Amino acid sequence: MLLHDLTLLAWISFVLFLLQLVALPVIFFVASKFTFLKDGAWGFGRVFSILLLSLLVWNLAFLQVPINTHLGVGILFFVLSLFSLYTTWAFFLSKKKFLQKFWQKFGRIILIEEIVFVLALLFLFAMRSFQPEILGLEKFMDAGFIQAYLKSPTLPAGDIWYAGSSINYYSFGQFYNSILVQLWQVDLAYGYNLLLIALFALLCLQLFSLAFNLRSNLGQSNFKAAVFAGIFTVFLVALGANGHTLWYFFSKGSFAGYWYPDATRFIERTIHEFPAYSFVVSDLHAHVLSLPISLFLLLVVFVWLKELLSLPSKKLAKFKLLWRTSFFYLSLLMGVLFGVLVMTNTWDLLIYGSLLLLLGLILLCKNKLFFGPLLLSASSVLVGTAIFAAFWLLNFTPISNSLMLAKEHTPFWQLLILWGPHLFWASLLLLVIRSFFSTKKNDQVVPILIIALFVLLVFLIVFPEFFYFKDIYTTYPRANTMFKLVFQGFMLLGILVALFFSLVLFEKAQPKGFFAWRLFDLRQTLASKKKKLFLLKVRLRRFFLLHLPISFFLFFSTLVYPYLAYQSYYGNWKNYQGLDGLAWFARKYPDDFILLNYLKANESEQVNIVEAVGESYTEFARISAFSGMPTILGWRVHEWLWRASWDGPAKRTGMVEKIYNQPLSDEVAANLKSYQVKYIIVGDKEYEAYKQMDLEGLMSLGPVVAVSGKSYLIKLF
Find residue 707's DSSP bridge partners. 712
Q: Render pLDDT for 512-546 as a digit per residue (tens, 0 to 9).
A: 444 444 444 444 444 444 445 555 555 555 555 55
Give which of 315, 261, 553, 300 is closest to 441, Cα–Cα.
315
Alpha helices in 515-560 (DSSP H): 515-520, 523-528, 532-542, 548-553
Q: Are 436 and 218 in contact (CB under 8 A)?
A: yes
pLDDT for the residue numbered 529: 45
Dihedral of CA atoms 61, 67, 70, 71 in degrees, nearest 10, equals: -170
Q: Assess whether pLDDT exceeds 80 at residue 224.
A: yes
Q: How far is CA 73 from the centre of its chain?
A: 22
Model confidence band, residue 472 (pLDDT cutoffs 50, 70, 90): confident
pTM: 0.94
Q: What is the mean pLDDT of residues 86-101?
A: 81
- Residue 158 bridge partners (DSSP): 166
Beta bridge partner(s), residue 609 = 631, 679
Per-residue pLDDT, 633: 98
Closest CA to 145 of 617, 628, 585: 628
Whose CA is closest to 325, among 341, 308, 342, 340? 308
- E strand or H helix at 468: strand 467-469
pLDDT at site 103: 93
- Which of 116-130, 142-156, 167-181, 208-222 has the lowest average pLDDT? 208-222
How far is 504 from 425, CA to CA, in rounded Å? 11
Mean pLDDT (whole number) for 142-149: 98
**Average pLDDT value for residue range 656-679:** 97
Q: Are 236 and 557 in contact (CB under 8 A)?
A: yes
- Give me the amino acid identity at 108: R
714: β partners = 680, 704
Strand partners, 677: 608
The count of C-alpha atoms lying within 13 angstroms of the C-alpha of 44, restricted to the half-sphere facing its C-beta, is 29
pLDDT at position 544, please? 56
The total number of residues shown for the chain amounts to: 717
Residue 677 is inside which H or E element, if any? strand 677-682
At residue 514, the pLDDT reads: 44
pLDDT-based confidence at 473, cuts 50/70/90? confident
pLDDT-above-90 percentage for the chain:
80
Concatenating the DSSP letter of every residue in 396-463 gives ---S---EEE-S----HHHHHHHHHHHHHHHHHHHHHHGGG--SSGGGGHHHHHHHHHHHHHHHHHHG
Q: Which helix (H) or strand (E) covers residue 490, if one does? A: helix 479-506
- Choose between 350 and 473: higher pLDDT: 350
Long-range CB contacts (< 8 A, 24+ apart) of 20-27? 20/45, 20/46, 20/49, 21/81, 21/84, 22/49, 22/52, 22/77, 22/80, 22/81, 22/84, 23/48, 23/49, 23/84, 24/84, 24/88, 25/84, 25/87, 25/88, 25/91
Look at residues 480, 485, 479 and name the one whose alpha carbon lies nearest to residue 463: 485
pLDDT, position 534: 55
Query: pLDDT higher for 325 or 534?
Result: 325
Give 443's pLDDT tier (boundaries 50, 70, 90). confident
Beta strands in 192-242 (DSSP E): none
In three-state form (DSSP H/G/I as H, E/B as E, the rest C), the secondary structure along 39-81 is CCCHHHHHHHHHHHHHHHHHHHHHCCCCCCCHHHHHHHHHHHH
Strand partners, 404: 468
Please write the tens of the pLDDT for every residue from 34-46. 999 999 999 999 9
**Average pLDDT value for the chain:** 91
The answer to whether the CB of 242 falls within 8 A of the CB of 272 is yes
Report the side by side order of strands in the sheet with 608-610. 608-610, 677-682, 711-715, 704-708
Give the range among 42-51, 149-158, 191-200, 467-476 with minimum mean pLDDT: 467-476
- pLDDT at residue number 90: 80
Helix (H, G, I), strand (E, B) or coil at 133: coil
SS3 call for 30? helix
Q: Could you report the per-residue pLDDT of 351-382, keeping only the tens digit for each?
A: 999 999 999 999 999 889 899 899 999 999 99
The answer on pLDDT for 194 being more than 60 is yes
Domain boundaries, the chain: 290-396, 585-715
Structure confidence at residue 323 (pLDDT)? 78
- CA-to-CA separations, 586 to 134, 142, 580, in angstroms, rounded: 12, 20, 10
Distance (Å, rounded) from C-alpha 196 to C-alpha 179? Answer: 14
